[in-house]
């Protein structure tokens, strides 16, 4: 525990140092229309397909949790082939389209890492969620790490201790973790990631479980990739309904429901607060997303600004 705590402190110090080199005005002179271009494209993509907002948000999370917010997840193959990502990550075409637009406006200026970070924020806003100021100036990695993606992205079967450790290792507080989990107020999950919860767990609303079983049969290999909404109440609105669902034992994933036990569990009070206070959730989520975007960015002369997000220059 002492070693892990020290690692988290060191990581936090490095993140603070790196984020100090980021600035919300980074492109004001070199590409003044960058943010407006990203927002317009994201809004159009989400309006075309509501699910895309969650996909872009997840893409950002899966980027930042593995060697920092460096767009490594956008490189073809590698991290994309990791177990948490293969055949589930999506939204690459939206990022590629934005990058192509920006390249015609400001050649090799706006990084893929910054595009992805801003797109995550704009996706949340497009679905009615909070906004926040995004510091800019990240650069793109020249490598990706499939093994790290397999080891560092928290899986859907994690319990509260595992989740707390996983997020804590990245410098997040428990409140940050519960707030970031609220991203599951949008998006969908594959049957293979919640089948065991449906058929083997007891802390699940029986009617909720029954409603999902037809589309998620018990035998492994049957309907593995069938989808269900993470938020059964308002699946395409970024709101605090996720926490009310947890209180009703309607968390889709095991790693969702462990946040609320109803018997005084470690994060019960935070879930209660977010369920009853939308403003508290919005504020905590925005704050945690800024932290997320500050995870080990490449800055200055580190890395590169890719011309195409899917490959190194």
Task: Determine if residue 72 is labeled as part of a ligand binding site.
Answer: yes
- C-alpha distances in Å from residue 219, one per residue of 13, 104, 191, 257, 312: 47, 50, 11, 23, 42
Would the annotation count 63 as a binding residue?
yes
* 32 marked as part of a ligand binding site: no
To the question of whether residue 70 is assigned a binding role by annotation, the answer is yes
Residue 184 labelled as part of a binding site? yes
Residue 256 assigned as binding residue: no
Helix (H, G, I), strand (E, B) or coil at 136: strand
What are the start-end ranges of the H helices in the chain?
2-19, 34-48, 51-64, 92-105, 112-126, 146-152, 160-168, 174-181, 195-200, 206-213, 241-247, 254-257, 268-276, 278-293
Tell me the C-alpha distance between 43 and 118, whole Å.
12
Query: Is 37 annotated for ligand binding?
Result: no
- Is position 234 annotated in a ligand binding site? yes
Asked if 171 and 60 count as a contact pair (C-beta separation under 8 A), the reply is: no
Q: Of all helices (H) and strands (E), which one includes residue 304?
A: none
DSSP SS3 for 129: coil
Separation between Cα atoms, residue 36 and residue 100, nearest integer Å: 15
Q: Which one of the listed residues 58, 62, 121, 138 is annotated catalytic?
A: 62
Residue 5 annotated as lining a ligand binding site: no
* Residue 62 falls in the annotated catalytic set: yes
Q: Is 133 among the annotated ligand-binding positions? A: no
Enumerate the known binding-site residues: 63, 66, 68, 70, 72, 79, 154, 184-185, 231, 234, 239
Enumerate the known binding-site residues for heme b: 184
What amino acid positions are annotated as catalytic residues? 62
Enumerate the known binding-site residues for Ca(2+): 63, 66, 68, 70, 72, 79, 185, 231, 234, 239
């Amino acid at each position: 525990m002492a070693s892990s705590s020290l690692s988290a402190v060191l990581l936090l110090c490095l993140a603070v140092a790196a984020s100090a080199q980021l600035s919300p005005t980074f492109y004001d002179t070199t590409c003044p229309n960058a943010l407006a271009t990203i927002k317009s494209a994201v809004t159009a993509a989400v309006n075309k397909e509501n699910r895309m907002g969650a996909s872009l948000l997840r893409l950002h999370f899966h980027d930042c949790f593995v060697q920092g917010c460096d767009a490594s997840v956008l490189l073809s193959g590698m991290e994309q082939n990791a177990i948490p990502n293969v055949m589930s990550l999506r939204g690459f075409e939206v990022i590629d389209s934005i990058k192509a637009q920006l390249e015609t406006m400001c050649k090799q200026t706006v990084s893929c890492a910054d595009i992805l970070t801003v797109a995550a924020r704009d996706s949340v806003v497009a679905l009615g969620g909070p906004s926040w100021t995004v510091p800019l100036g990240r650069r793109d990695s020249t490598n990706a790490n499939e093994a790290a993606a397999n080891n560092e992205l928290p899986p859907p079967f994690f319990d509260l201790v595992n989740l707390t450790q996983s997020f804590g290792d990245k410098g997040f507080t428990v409140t940050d973790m519960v707030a970031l989990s609220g991203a599951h107020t949008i998006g969908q999950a594959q049957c293979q990631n919640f089948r065991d919860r449906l058929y083997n767990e007891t802390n699940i609303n029986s009617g909720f479980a029954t409603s999902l079983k037809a589309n998620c049969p018990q035998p492994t290999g049957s309907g593995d990739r069938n989808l269900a909404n993470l938020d059964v109440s308002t699946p395409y609105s970024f709101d605090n309904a996720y926490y009310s669902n947890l209180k009703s034992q309607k968390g889709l994933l095991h790693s969702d429901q462990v946040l609320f036990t109803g018997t005084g569990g470690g994060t019960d009070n935070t879930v209660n607060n977010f369920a009853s206070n939308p403003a508290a959730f919005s504020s905590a989520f925005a704050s945690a997303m800024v932290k997320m975007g500050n995870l080990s960015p490449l800055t200055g002369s580190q890395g590169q600004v890719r011309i195409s997000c899917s490959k190194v220059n």
